[in-house]
């Protein structure tokens, strides 16, 4: 997206708060008017004291009072203008950040999987902050700067047309210089934002897996990679800073030349009686005020290049295409019968993964999925939950194609425990009640007893009120998995999905949980993925998968009797 298109979209966002924008302009206009009126009054004051014995004290007193009033009015209006400018920048960036976060929750899982988490976080936090800073500087300097330029031109032309014309002709040179430099800086600021996102992503990845890093002695190699990314960031930042820092000195030089030209021509006019000494003083003040906004505006151009680059990265999140969601919904209480007809799916469309997948599962039955790593077991779970949509075929729940109903209505009928646990920062009580409404402490404790998590929770310092850090803090993987199981047992839906749900739990506890699961599954449809085949022997149907296809279907006894692939998998556990 071009920088001009990004800027246009940002301006469109600002227009949502047009009243704050209008009042900001009004206060800025009054501030500038008061500031520009002061040189006129100062010129009058100088004329009141020019000449020996010709000081007009009465008129001078009136002039000083007017100056004080102008200063007070300008100060108050500037305060409110800055207040509104801060509000505008905050609200605009807040809305964009909220929209980006909301959209990220509605994009396909494939979009999230294809991005680095740290980069997405960097866009919503660091880039949004950079945009806010750029907008704030723009509001504070651009509005008042433009008003000051037009105001000083008006006063200068009212004093002397020719000197005013000289200033008007020379000063725009600084804009051409700043525009030339700002074109160079945009690309560098865009690269700087990208490198910052890459650095954030790498740091987040390493710090969240620091135990593995230390176990494999990768500290030095990771430091080398981080230094390499940091050097690239430093190089791009240095180039962006170097080019942007040229703007101010270049424009100041041109403005100094303009000021000198005004002083020389004005002095000649004053000596020839064309203007008074007071008018010359006012003219010099206006010439200085006229050039000052050009310095500020050129600085704004530089900051805006950075802000626009950051806004572009934020708009990419906002513009990411959300998942298509149909209008139809499933009934509130599903019976739980499933059928799959000729289902095909692959993450990489150039390579097949699942193909010709077929099965039938009646309500209340338990279906287990087994097979070697990479055969498509977890992929099947992703399709059942519609984390990914199938490429062809159909999966039906109670005879209804799950692709024709909303994901929310589908997932509300399902409860899931994955091998990869996730706990949010908060108390154990909050983590167990995650997603449930109006649950009591008694219900939480009862669910924890069923999952056999109650025994270790009550031994913690604050029991159920123990605050967990990011992703469970110091809890073991097994303990985190028990809390996830408790979350499911608190409010079990009609369909249960267990993807290696007990993989990190000791055998004794697993046997106890399995008995609890068996009670929980009574009357409910269940999908179970397991590597330990001893845990799924009582399943009604076992799908044996290999290379993305179902190669065998039956119960445990039938499959062993067939002496096929399942039989070899089962026997391999005892070798």
Q: What is the mean pLDDT of residues 145-154?
A: 80
183 and 151, same structural domain? yes
Q: What is the largest distance, in Å, between two alpha-carbon atoms of the chain?
A: 125
What is the rounded distance in angstroms from the CA atom of residue 475 to the CA atom of residue 343?
A: 39
| Structural domain includes residue 324 | no
Q: What is the mean pLDDT of residues 519-535?
A: 79
| Structural domain includes residue 331 | no
- Detail the DSSP E strand segments found in 247-386: 338-345, 354-361, 366-370
The CATH number of whichever domain residue 29 belongs to comes to 1.20.1560.10
Whether residue 575 is predicted with pLDDT greater than 60 in this model: the reply is: no
pLDDT of residue 459: 87
| Structural domain includes residue 109 | yes
Token pair of 397 as six digits: 């729940």
315 and 423, same structural domain? no
pLDDT of residue 395: 92
Whether residue 380 is predicted with pLDDT greater than 80 in this model: the reply is: yes
315 and 448, same structural domain? no
Share of the chain above pLDDT 70, in %: 89
Whether residue 91 is predicted with pLDDT greater than 80 in this model: the reply is: yes
How does the average pLDDT of the chain come out, rounded?
80
| Structural domain includes residue 15 | yes
Which of 319, 353, 372 is the last residue in one of the domains? 319
Which residue did the predictor score with more confidence, 558 or 295? Answer: 558
294 and 361, same structural domain? no
| Structural domain includes residue 415 | yes
Whether residue 343 is predicted with pLDDT greater than 70 in this model: the reply is: yes
109 and 256, same structural domain? yes
Range of the domain at 561: 338-572
Whether residue 130 is predicted with pLDDT greater than 70 in this model: the reply is: yes
If pLDDT is split at 50, 70 and 90, which confidence band does 76 have? very high
pLDDT of residue 396: 92
What is the rounded distance in angstroms from the CA atom of residue 442 to the CA atom of residue 502?
A: 25
Q: 121-130, 203-212, 334-343 — which is least confidently predicted?
A: 203-212
Whether residue 349 is predicted with pLDDT greater than 60 in this model: the reply is: yes
Q: Are 280 and 270 in contact (CB under 8 A)?
A: yes
Which residue did the predictor score with more confidence, 498 or 573? Answer: 498
352 and 270, same structural domain? no
Which residue did the predictor score with more confidence, 223 or 241? Answer: 223
- Detail the DSSP E strand segments found in 63-198: none
What is the rounded distance in angstroms from the CA atom of residue 524 to the CA atom of residue 540?
A: 12
pLDDT of residue 60: 78
What is the rounded distance in angstroms from the CA atom of residue 59 to the CA atom of residue 40?
A: 14
Whether residue 530 is predicted with pLDDT greater than 80 in this model: the reply is: no
Closest residue by Cα to residue 297 from 183, 188, 178, 187: 178
79 and 116, same structural domain? yes
The CATH number of whichever domain residue 364 belongs to comes to 3.40.50.300
Which of 254, 284, 319 is the last residue in one of the domains? 319
Go through 485-518 and write b for each residue having 16 or more CB atoms within 10 A of its CB, e for each that does not.
bbbbbbeebbbbbbbbbbbbbeeebbeebbebbe
Structural domain count of the chain: 2
Whether residue 503 is predicted with pLDDT greater than 80 in this model: the reply is: no
Whether residue 495 is predicted with pLDDT greater than 80 in this model: the reply is: yes
498 and 387, same structural domain? yes
Q: Are 375 and 548 in contact (CB under 8 A)?
A: yes
Whether residue 509 is predicted with pLDDT greater than 60 in this model: the reply is: yes
What is the rounded distance in angstroms from the CA atom of residue 87 to the CA atom of residue 22?
A: 13
| Structural domain includes residue 330 | no
Q: What is the mean pLDDT of residues 362-372?
A: 87
Which of 290, 319, 348 is the last residue in one of the domains? 319
Q: What is the mean pLDDT of residues 37-57?
A: 72
104 and 194, same structural domain? yes
171 and 83, same structural domain? yes
74 and 21, same structural domain? yes
Whether residue 185 is predicted with pLDDT greater than 80 in this model: the reply is: no
Whether residue 562 is predicted with pLDDT greater than 70 in this model: the reply is: yes
| Structural domain includes residue 327 | no
If pLDDT is split at 50, 70 and 90, which confidence band does 567 have? confident
pLDDT of residue 175: 67
If pLDDT is split at 50, 70 and 90, which confidence band does 270 have? confident
Which residue did the predictor score with more confidence, 378 or 341? Answer: 341
298 and 361, same structural domain? no
| Structural domain includes residue 332 | no
Burial (CB < 10 A; 0-12, 13-18, 19+), residue 118, is: buried
In Å, what is the CA distance from 554 to each residue of 10, 73, 339, 550, 559? Answer: 60, 87, 15, 11, 6
Q: What is the mean pLDDT of residues 425-447?
A: 86
């Amino acid at each position: 997206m071009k920088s001009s298109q990004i800027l246009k979209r940002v301006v469109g966002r600002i227009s949502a708060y047009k009243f704050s924008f209008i009042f900001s302009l009004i206060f800025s206009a009054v501030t500038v008017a008061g500031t520009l009126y002061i040189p006129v009054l100062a010129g009058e004051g100088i004329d009141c004291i020019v000449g020996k014995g010709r000081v007009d004290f009465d008129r001078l007193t009136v002039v000083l009072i007017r100056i004080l009033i102008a200063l007070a009015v300008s100060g108050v209006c500037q305060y409110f203008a800055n207040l509104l400018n801060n509000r505008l920048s905050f609200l605009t960036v807040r809305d964009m950040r909220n929209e980006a976060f909301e959209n990220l929750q509605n994009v396909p899982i494939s979009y999230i999987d294809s991005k680095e988490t740290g980069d997405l976080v960097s866009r919503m936090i660091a880039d949004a902050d950079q945009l806010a800073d750029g907008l704030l500087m723009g509001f504070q300097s651009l509005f008042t700067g433009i008003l000051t330029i037009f105001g000083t031109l008006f006063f200068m032309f009212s004093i002397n047309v020719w000197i005013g014309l000289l200033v008007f002709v020379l000063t725009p040179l600084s804009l051409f210089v700043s525009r030339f430099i700002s074109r160079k800086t945009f690309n560098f600021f865009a690269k700087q934002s990208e490198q910052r996102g890459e650095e954030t992503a790498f740091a987040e990845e390493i710090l969240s897996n620091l135990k593995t890093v230390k176990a494999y002695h990768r500290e030095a190699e990771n430091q080398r990679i981080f230094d390499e990314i940091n050097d690239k960031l430093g190089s791009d930042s240095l180039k962006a800073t170097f080019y942007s820092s040229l703007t101010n000195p270049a424009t100041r030089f041109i403005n100094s030349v303009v000021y000198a030209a005004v002083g020389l021509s004005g002095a000649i006019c004053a000596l020839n009686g064309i203007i008074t000494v007071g008018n010359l003083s006012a003219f010099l003040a206006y010439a200085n005020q006229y050039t000052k906004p050009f310095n500020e505006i050129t600085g704004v151009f530089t900051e805006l290049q950075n802000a626009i680059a950051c806004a572009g990265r934020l708009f990419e999140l906002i513009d990411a295409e959300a998942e298509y969601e149909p209008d139809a919904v499933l009934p509130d209480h599903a019976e739980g019968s499933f059928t799959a007809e000729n289902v095909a799916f692959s993450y990489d469309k150039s390579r097949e993964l699942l193909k010709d997948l077929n099965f039938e599962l009646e309500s209340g039955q338990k279906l287990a999925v087994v097979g070697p790593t990479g055969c498509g077991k977890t992929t099947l779970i992703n399709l059942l939950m519609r984390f990914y949509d199938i490429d062809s075929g159909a999966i039906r729940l109670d005879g209804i194609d799950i692709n024709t109903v909303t994901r929310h209505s589908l997932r509300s009928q399902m409860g899931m425990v994955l091998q990869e646990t996730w706990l949010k920062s908060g108390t154990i009580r909050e983590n167990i009640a995650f997603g449930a409404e109006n649950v009591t402490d008694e219900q939480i404790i009862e669910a924890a007893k069923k999952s056999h998590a109650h025994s270790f929770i009550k031994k913690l310092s604050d029991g159920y009120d123990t605050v967990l850090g990011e992703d469970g803090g110091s809890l073991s993987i097994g303990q985190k998995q028990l809390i996830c199981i408790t979350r499911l047992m608190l409010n079990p839906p009609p369909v249960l999905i267990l993807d290696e749900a007990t993989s990190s739990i000791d055998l004794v506890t697993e046997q106890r949980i399995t008995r609890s699961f068996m009670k929980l599954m009574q009357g409910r449809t269940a999908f179970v993925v397991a590597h330990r085949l001893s845990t799924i022997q009582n399943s009604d149907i076992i799908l044996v998968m290999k290379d993305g296809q179902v190669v065998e279907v039956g119960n445990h006894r039938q499959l062993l009797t067939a002496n096929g692939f399942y039989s070899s998998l089962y026997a391999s556990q005892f070798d």
